[in-house]
Structure 1
Amino acid sequence: MNVTQKPESQGFSTTRLEVITDWMNRYVEEGKLAGAQAVVARRGQIAYANSVGLSDMENNIPWNDNTLARFYSMTKPVTSVALMMLFEKGLCHLDDPVEWFIPSFKKMRVLRPNAQSIEDTEPATVKPTIRHMLTHMSGLTYDFNGGILGEAYAAAKMDFGPRRGTLESQVDKLAELPLQFTPGARWNYGVSTDVVGRLVEVISGSDLRTFLDEYILGPLAMTDTAFDVPDDKIDRFASLYGRGPDGKIKLLDAASKSVFRAGRTECYSGGGGLMSTAGDYLKFAEMIRQRGAYNGERLLGSRTVDYMTRNHLVGDLADNGQPVFSEISFEGVGFGLGGWVMLDPPKSQMMGSVGDFGWGGMASTVFWVDPVEEMTVLFLTQLAPSSQYPLRKELRTLVHQALVD
């Protein structure tokens, strides 16, 4: 991926942007990351793009522009856009109960306060809605959040993995488990966007893969983005690493043996199933920055994107629940429809602009768009979980210190 315009013409210092390269190299040289890639664009022009290290340490394959990575939860904004495209057609309203489209949600139960077992429940007095799902106010969770419900998710293998069965069967199985709290009561990161993906299927009449291909990935020419990796691209697929007891990285999922190889995917996870490249995802991020349009293709109306990228919580994340997830700070940050919304950079203790919007993934990837600076930033690596190092906060500082105009 080439720089398309001299950084200085976009208000950056070339010397200061190179600090990003030094930072990525330091993580690789210290054995904390196998490889990494960063892209910084302003007003649609790439001011910085670089890759360091390896995508596959075992086979000594360099990370480059064509490297395919697991984007995991960066799938969520894509799925949220898909639902909002149907919303724009008048096919659903955000306050519609989920049960209108997914009947298995008709008899949802909620854990009682101070419940001691997964059976200690009561009927849900508030029906979960599409809005609850888009904002993670639904009462659903993830197994890694722990607690009684998290343990039940783990036991049921409720993670929407590629080989867990169809999205329909997984969502129906999910509905057999209780909610952690009454919908709307607080924010809790969970599998809500997988339910959004199923809603897209029911409302559109197409499976999620087909819908995304036809209405988002195809129009944006995101030719390397899919729910699995075909055999002819497997040599471009990065391996997934974790952190071993000695602090050094260890192999978690070899590219050549990955469950994401083509022909193995049964569940199209709207919450975490996409593989992509930096170049592909940059197109999607730029579509968000340009308020619904990219390269002559309009996916959403500009006001719809404005609506998605505003805070839909009362207050910030810290006002709406216990911090249970490390993607971002909870203080000074809100949540829109599918991603964070920066409310108060000093309060968040992160560099940024009011209104910047984005999200990250379990393998330590992240993107954000900044409407004030007219900027799009993308960072890829493959280290899970994303709580190992403060990569996202550090990258924010590095990007903003390079702005000089």
Structure 2
Amino acid sequence: MKTIKQALGALVLLGGAAVFLNTFAPSDSLNFDPARLSRINTHYTAAIADQQVVGARAVIFQNNKIVYAQNWGYADQENKKPLADDTILHFFSMTKPITSVAVMMLFEEGKFLLHDPIAKYIPELANLQVYDAETGTGNPPVRKAARQPTIHDVLTHRAGFTYGYFDLSPLGDLYRQSNINDPQADLSKFVTDLGKLPLKYDPGTKWHYAVSTDVLGRLVEVVSGQTFGAFLQTRIFDPLNMVDTGFKYDPATADRLAVLYSQSGITEQFGEKGFFARSSGPGHEPAHPQLVMSHGDTGKFESGGSGLLSTTHDYLRFARMLLNGGELDGVRLLAPATVALMRRDHVGDTEPLQRMTSIQLNEGIGFGLGFGVIKDQGLSKLAMPDDSFFWGGAAGTFFWIDPRNELIGMFVAQVVPHRTTLRQDMWGLTYQSILDDRLN
């Protein structure tokens, strides 16, 4: 029988470019079983054949090395261009953790306190009122807020804002009508328009996924004196050598940019129904231009909530910095104590008003400063261990960091809205492949 070291040292190819690397010291690396790792390829090969997605990539990183990496399908199905290791992807809400890190870098510099009112720095968001159809007055019906939102409220999606894309309520209609995420607007205009809209609930009372992280992008601009994109470039991307990450694609690398897809029939409906549009049949088509313009191609809006283009290589460098407590390759962005603060649950028993994703803030799961966090694995019913933190994006992107086992996992697709369980499947597929009594 082969030893574990011999088995892991083999290069295994299964219907694609699967790579299993044995570069760990036995005392540090977990025991990944090659046969069980091959289940990842089997699963996602079938998903491509079933037309669940056009293309996908999965990466497992543990103990400072890539353990598994594989691509499936196309970055551009019309031109038969395979999805590659260096394909530039629309990461959507995986932008949010990067924005949150930018905010906490400025927090470390003493630029603000987390309990400061957001209006102290963004006066356009002063004196916000709450939409209330029962007790409010005027058109729309509003009432006085119990208190105004703080920076901490904004970081934790408890400020009272919403997302027009995901909200079918009358307030969601107002968000869509106001076009506050206009791809040709800048962040100054965005907060001006947002300040004219009422809140959905009193700040601090509910958890509700919202445009909050876009507000944080404007906060970075105000307190740093730089545009949001310039701050990210000079303070995060350049130091971490994230060479393919930004809000605009580089014409020199445009041939590596993935086409953003939707399920058949959704593109025609998206302008009217947004993320509530439903597929009319199998297959995929290029996504609505509004989605493409809003997320990295031709728009001006530097969305801290969803705007970045990146590669899995670049994003892995960002995730490694967090796993290392704020440092990578001798470059420190945050102190370990700050990363620990971000990883803690900050919402407690806050009522989740909206459960728009498959990763609900229910029992066992909380929310930190930019990430979901696993508080109790048993209650969460997820494969990720306690203390893991994670987030994903609307096109099927997802990453998680498991500090107990020094592991990072990532799955990416490019179909929006994303309605498969493929990214969730990656959690179980990863941990079932580890045959090690030391797994925490």
Instruction: Name the TM tier (shorter chain).
Output: over 0.9
Quick check: 1:130 aligned with 2:161? no
Give 1:134 shift: 0.3
Equivalent in the alignment of 1:290: 324
Aligned to 1:184: 204
1:2-41 alignment to 2 at 5 Å?
A: 5-6=22-23, 9-41=29-61
Provide Cα deviations, 1:143-190, integer angstroms capped at 9, x if missing partner: 1122111111111122x3532x10111111111000000100110000
Query: Out of 352, 361, 381, which is 1:321 matched to?
Result: 352
**Greater mean alpha carbon deviation, residues 334-343 or residues 120-129:** 120-129
Equivalent position of 1:174 in the other structure: 194
Q: Distance in 1 between matches of 2:239 and 2:285?
A: 38
Work out the percentage of aligned pairs sharing the same amino acid: 37
SS of 1:259's partner is helix
Show the 5 A alignment for 1:187-226. 187-226=207-246
Alignment of 1:39-54 (within 5 A): 39-54=59-74
Say yes or no: does 1:232 pair with 2:252: yes
Structure 1 equivalent of residue 178 of structure 2: 156
**Which stretch of the first structure deviates more once superposed, 143-152 or 295-304?**
143-152
CA contact (8 A) 1:329 1:348 kept: no
Question: 1:104 and 1:254 mapped to 2: Cα distance?
Answer: 29
Which one-letter code corresponds to 2:367 in the other structure? F
What TM-score does the superposition give when structure 1 sets the normalisation length?
0.93
Q: CA deviation at 1:327?
A: 4.8
How far the C-alpha of 1:129 sits from its partner, in A, is 0.6
Of the candidates 335, 354, 361, which is equivalent to residue 367 of structure 2?
335
Once the 2 structures are TM-superposed, how far is the Cα of residue 83 of structure 1 from its aligned partner? 0.4
1:27 CA displacement: 1.0
- With the length of structure 2 as denominator, give the TM-score of the two structures: 0.86
In structure 2, the CA distance between the partners of 1:94 and 1:113, relative to structure 1 (3 Å rule), is: farther
Matched, 1:381 2:416: no
Match of 1:354 in 2: 386
Secondary structure of the equivalent of 2:385?
coil
Structure 1 equivalent of residue 6 of structure 2: none
Return the alpha-carbon distance in structure 2 between the equivalents of residues 227 and 396 of structure 1: 29
Amino acid at match of 1:5: N
Please report how far the alpha carbon of residue 343 of structure 1 lies from its aligned counterpart in structure 2 after TM superposition.
1.3
Amino acid at match of 2:241: A
Deviation at residue 371 of structure 1 after TM alignment = 1.0
Structure 2's unaligned 5+ residue stretches are 1-16, 265-279
1:252 aligns with 2:287: yes
How far off is 1:118 after superposition? 5.8
> SS in structure 2 opposite 1:46?
strand
* Letter in structure 1 aligned against 2:44: M
Please give the alpha-carbon distance, in whole angstroms, between the structure 2 residues aligned to 1:32 and 1:118. Answer: 43
Q: Distance in 2 between matches of 1:25 and 1:115?
A: 54
- Corresponding residue for 2:424? 393
Report if aligned partners of 2:88, 2:258 keep a CA contact under 8 Å in 1.
yes
Tell me the distance in 1 between the aligned counterparts of 2:315 and 2:398: 11
How much has 1:40 moved relative to structure 2?
Answer: 0.2
- Rg bigger for which structure? 2
| 1:112 correspondence with 2:132 | yes
Secondary structure class of the residue paired with 1:306: helix
Contact kept in structure 1, 2:156 and 2:369, CA below 8 Å: yes
8 Å CA contact 1:230–1:261 kept in 2: the answer is no
Closer, same or farther: CA 373–115 of 1 in aligned 2, 3 Å: farther
Offset of residue 393 of structure 1 = 2.2
Q: For the structure 1 residues 104 and 262, does the alpha-carbon distance in structure 2 shift closer, same or farther, using more than 3 Å as the test?
A: closer
> Could you tell me how far 1:14 is from its partner in structure 2?
1.6
Q: In the superposition, relative to structure 1, how do residues 381 and 118 fare at CA in structure 2: closer, same or farther (>3 Å)?
A: farther
Contact 2:295–2:309 (Cα < 8 Å) also in 1: no
Distance, in Å, in 1 between the alignment partners of 2:250 and 2:204 is 40
The answer to whether the Cα contact below 8 Å between 1:340 and 1:358 also exists between their aligned partners in 2 is: yes
Which runs of no fewer than 5 residues in structure 1 stay unpaired? none
Between the aligned partners of 1:55 and 1:121, the Cα distance in structure 2 is 46
Cα distance in structure 2, aligned partners of 1:196 and 1:328:
23
> What's the CA shift string for 1:117-154, capped at 9, x where partnerless?
86110122311110000000000010112211111111
Q: Deviations over 1:247-283 (max 9, x none)?
A: 322321589x953798833111111110000000000
Alignment-derived partner of residue 267 in structure 2? none
- For residues 154 and 434 of structure 2, the distance between their equivalents in structure 1, rounded to whole angstroms, comes to 36
1:122 alignment partner AA: R
> Kindly tell me: are residues 396 and 209 of structure 1, through their superposed partners in 2, closer, same or farther at Cα, counting changes over 3 Å?
same
In the alignment, what sits opposite 2:343?
309
* Deviation for aligned residue 1:104: 0.9
Deviations 1:75-118 (A, max 9, x none): 00000000000000111100000111111111211112647986
Sort the Cα spacing of 1:330 and 1:106 in 2 relative to 1 into closer, same or farther, 3 A.
Answer: closer
Task: Tell me the SS of whatever aligns to 1:372.
Answer: helix
Give the Å deviation of 1:344.
1.8
Give the counterpart letter for 1:183 in structure 2. Answer: P
Q: Give the aligned residue type for 1:280.
A: D
In structure 2, distance between residues paired with 1:195 and 1:115: 28
Alpha-carbon distance in 1 for matches of 2:336, 2:403: 13
